[in-house]
Amino acid sequence: MAKIIIPSPLRKFTDNLTTVATSGNTVQEAILDLATQYQGLRKHILDTEQNIRSFIRIYVGEEDINALDKEQTAVAEDTVISIVPAIAGGAY
Amino acid sequence: MLDNKELARYARHISIPEFGREGQEKLKKAKVLVVGSGGLGSPLLLYLAAAGVGHLGIVDFDVVDDSNLQRQVLFTVKDVGASKAETAKERLLALNPYVNITVYNTPITSDNALDIIKDYDVVADGTDNFPTRYLVNDASVLAGKVNVYASIFRFEGQVSVFNYLHEDGTRGPNYRDMFPEPPPPGLVPNCAEGGVLGVLPGIIGSMQAAEVIKVITGVGDPLVGRMFLIDVASFTTRTLKVLKTDVEIKELIDYQQFCGIGVEEPVKEVTVEELESLKNNGADFQLIDVREPHEFEAANLDGLLIPLGEIAKHHDKVAKDKQVIIHCRSGKRSATAIRELQDLYGFDNLYNLKGGILAYGELVKK
């Protein structure tokens, strides 16, 4: 049950939960489980072919999954996955 | 060279062993361009000026609004309506007369960015939208400048140092290595919908100032190849690694188009004058307001409130058998709502109120 940290812009799709427990043995399975639990989130994190969208980064601990085994990176019960989106605020 | 008064003014810096007089001299010689003098720009400029950065450039074409004062600590009530960049200059010179300040009271664009940036050593990005963030990043990379980045949203902040020049001549990752593409318009809400905790830009802008000072003086270990994240609501912080990719920046582009802004299909519109005449003629139509409840409370046109984020969920409340006019503050969110309803539920009777409640306010004033 890896824990996924949900960033602010996506919390409207997770009933404002900041973390969601997911099942699965890889990052891909965990993200798919998240998208299944919260359908509204699906189109924002996955494209039509179920690939993770390019405007968000996925981290396991402090490592970008692209430096690990990408979507196939293994996750354990105590793994913390972060979804890191681009945010643009500052001047306002 | 620092004169005696400056040596006295900066004594607390000079007493730090690894900073010393040398660090202070480097600050005095440095030229830093701050893009945006709002939430992040306020603390950033105040601390950079106080610290003794010799030359500051301020890019901002906006004017001070009363609603800025919740977080933009450079400004006061008497500044409302005045140019942010000019007001900032006055305030900073009152704080530190040893600083030279150049004001660019103009939007930064693909046409002027390289010309503005070329005169500076470091760029600090405190802007509020994706097109400008990509523009500032790309221009910094093309001009070979370090881009000290910070961004905020609600309770969350991000900080990183992009395009850092290492001793071996290589460059650290830049914004496009982290985010090759912007999110589609509408996913990350704008200021009015999203909101920001007023103190957050104070925290994040101060961190950004610290990174600018570290880059200039060479003191410490700047946030290169790493991105700091904080959620002040839960007080969790993380520092994530930023990978360098093979993304290449060759030239400045049309950033509005790159970010998908203004390329959407047009939606049908009515003007505020047309809305007025429909009302006066007793026409049968439905008016929907897709702003947030707090905006509705402040002022409304007596429409049905369904915030943009909930419009799909409540599509059954949108009439199908008559004209439906949807509005927001300026017409942007309502256009998004219309596209969503058209795409998902096949509506063909939806009209956007051009200029939103702002335009209605102008009509009433007349």
- ipTM comes to 0.91
Q: What is the pLDDT of residue B191?
A: 47
Q: What is the pLDDT of residue B252?
A: 96
Quick check: A90 and B152 CB within 8 A?
yes
Closest in A12, A59, A88 to B129, CB measured: A88
Q: What is the pLDDT of residue A34?
A: 96
Give the integer Cα–Cα distance in Å for A69 and B151: 29
Average predicted confidence (pLDDT) for chain A: 90
Query: pLDDT-based confidence at A85, cuts 50/70/90?
Result: confident
Can you give the residue ranges of every domain in chain A?
3-85
Closest in A9, A54, A57 to B153, CB measured: A9
d(CA A25, nearest CA chain B) in Å? 22
Query: pLDDT-based confidence at A92, cuts 50/70/90?
Result: very low
Give the integer Cα–Cα distance in Å for A52 and A65: 11
Closest CA to B108 of B92, B93, B90, B128: B128
A52-61 pLDDT, tens digit each: 888 889 999 9
Q: What is the pLDDT of residue B207?
A: 98
Q: HSE of B208 in the Cβ direction (CA atoms, 13 Å)?
A: 36
Low-confidence ranges of chain B (pLDDT < 70): 186-193, 262-264
Give the integer Cα–Cα distance in Å for B27 and A34: 48
CB-CB neighbors (< 8 A) of A59 in chain B: 240
| Highest CATH level, class, for A3-85 | alpha beta
Closest in B180, B233, B240 to A84, CB measured: B240
Enclosing H/E stretch for B352: strand B350-353
Q: Which residue of A has its CA nearest to B158?
A: A87
* Residue-range domains of chain B with CATH: 4-258 (3.40.50.720), 269-365 (3.40.250.10)
Q: What is the pLDDT of residue B186?
A: 65
Residue A1 in this model has a pLDDT that exceeds 90 = no
CA-based radius of gyration for chain A: 13
B38-69 pLDDT, tens digit each: 999 999 999 999 999 999 999 999 999 999 99
Residue B309, token pair as written in the block: 């984020």
Q: What is the pLDDT of residue A73?
A: 96
Q: Looking at the annotation, which residues of B are catalytic?
A: 191, 328
Quick check: B309 and A82 CB within 8 A?
no
Query: pLDDT-based confidence at A44, cuts 50/70/90?
Result: confident
